[in-house]
Amino acid sequence: TPPTGFRFPAEWERHKQTWIGWPERLDNWRENAVPAQETFQEVISNIADFEQVTVVVSGSSWRQVRRLFDDNQNVRVVEMSTDDCWLRDTGPIFIASRTGKSSTQVCGVDFDFNAWGGVKEGCYVNWDKDALVAWKILDLEGLKRYVSNLVLEGGAVSTDGQGTLLATEECVLHSNRNPNWTRDMIETEMKLYLGVEKIIWLPLGVYGDHDTNGHVDNLCVFVGPAKVVIHWTEDRTDPQYERSLRAFQILETSRDAKGRSLSIHKLPAPGPFYRTELEASGVVATPQAVVRKVNERLVASYVNFYFANNVLIMPSFGEPWDTQAKEIFQSIVPERQIRQVAAREIILGGGGIHCITQQQPDD
């Protein structure tokens, strides 16, 4: 039965901690996953400067990862078996209800997961360990678990914490997620379990985002009440142009759950970037996972950032756009520090900084 009286808090609201995975599978992460682990270590260290972090790792990596953060009191390392490390999508979506003036009751929704498209179109063919991650996290935290049979990933939705949700039709309504559900049934289930009243549907996600079929957390997310950032290019020859323009036009005429129009901040699209021969050759292809090909266009977006307490952690790609994007973010959230982390190694795995994190609201 769905939760009642709860709401989906915005990512910018106060966190108790961040949950994050650890990259290990060699058919997704090149060079024994070492370059990705160095990047994850940097993301974890940056978040841990601002809030508690729990890193979820396999038994074989526990000692190595614990030693990496030996002296860091803000980092906890928990052994948990997983199929990969995308806790945005395999972790619970935490919801909260106000119980009295200061305290809130937090619980979690365990949506169904099928590795972003199931056996035929997903990123890997076995996800039985990933399917238990949300339940295990809620069990570890002693929080109530609500189960929904809807296949939905945390990266596919963005909320303002005030009853509005952003999502892309390309992903959430994709036939490889919930083939037997109508649009109405999907909308109803999302509203019921996330406590939202209004869903703003954007047609298509970022061009080339085959891993997730266009997750909204690469295209457009809330950065404040009635305030969004959108992945934007002025290059009319780039296939992204039409996709961003259509989303922009819909956002311009949309109203949020409180009837407000949205202020839309354009973030420049870096790149485009393509996987090099060296980057492709470092991955050990297996029949179990999607093949990482040379010259494949990578999905690089400044929209895939993470809000931790008092900080915004954004990706950098070694481009002049990095500085412009940072200035735009600083103008939007002047009260926050901004940290930049080189994110190419995460992008090569099919996601970004937002995709590897999952916030747990403060209670």
Q: Which residues bind ligand KQY (CB under 6 A)?
A: 86, 88-89, 116, 123, 153, 155, 211-212, 215, 217, 349-351, 355
Chain centroid to Cα 66, Å, comes to: 24
Which tokens in the block code for residue 131?
A: 């399917």
CA-based max dimension of the chain = 57
Q: Which is nearer to ligand KQY, 174 or 215 (CB)?
A: 215
Minimum distance of ligand KQY from residue 67's CB (angstroms): 27
Count the neighbouring beta carbons within 10 Å of the beta carbon of residue 183: 12
Q: Which is nearer to ligand KQY, 271 or 349 (CB)?
A: 349
* β partners of residue 102: none
Minimum distance of ligand KQY from residue 350's CB (angstroms): 3
Q: Which is nearer to ligand KQY, 68 or 174 (CB)?
A: 174
Minimum distance of ligand KQY from residue 346's CB (angstroms): 9
Q: Which is nearer to ligand KQY, 12 or 124 (CB)?
A: 124
Residue reference for tokens 């997903």: 122
Q: Which residues contact 191 (CB under 8 A, 6 or more apart)?
A: 197, 199
Q: How does DSSP assign 94-146, residue by residue? A: EEEEE-SSS-EEEEEEEEE--TTTHHHHSSBS--TTGGGHHHHHHHHHT--EE
Q: What is the enclosing helix (H) or strand (E) of 40?
A: helix 34-48
Q: Which is nearer to ligand KQY, 68 or 300 (CB)?
A: 300
Q: Which of 278, 314, 270 is nearest to 294 (CA)?
A: 278
Q: Which of 363, 22, 76, 352 is nearest to 219 (CA)?
A: 352
Which tokens in the block code for residue 158?
A: 């963005």
Minimum distance of ligand KQY from residue 153's CB (angstroms): 6
- Is 171 part of the annotated catalytic residue set? no
Minimum distance of ligand KQY from residue 316's CB (angstroms): 18
| β-strand pairing of 357-361 with 15-20 | antiparallel
Q: Which of 105, 77, 88 is nearest to 154 (CA)?
A: 88
Minimum distance of ligand KQY from residue 25's CB (angstroms): 10
Q: What is the enclosing helix (H) or strand (E) of 227?
A: strand 227-232
Q: Which residues contact 135 (CB under 8 A, 6 or more apart)?
A: 92, 110, 145
Q: Which is nearer to ligand KQY, 123 or 196 (CB)?
A: 123
* Sign of the CA dihedral with 273 first, then 280, 79, and 112 last: positive
Residue of 85, 107, 123, 355 marked catalytic: 355
Q: What is the DSSP letter of 174?
A: -
- Of all residues in the shown chain, the one whose CB is closest to ligand KQY is 155
Q: Which is nearer to ligand KQY, 282 or 351 (CB)?
A: 351
Count the neighbouring beta carbons within 10 Å of the beta carbon of residue 337: 14
Minimum distance of ligand KQY from residue 109's CB (angstroms): 16
Can the peptide bond before residue 272 be classed as cis, meaning omega within 30 degrees of 0?
Answer: yes
The residues that are catalytic are: 355
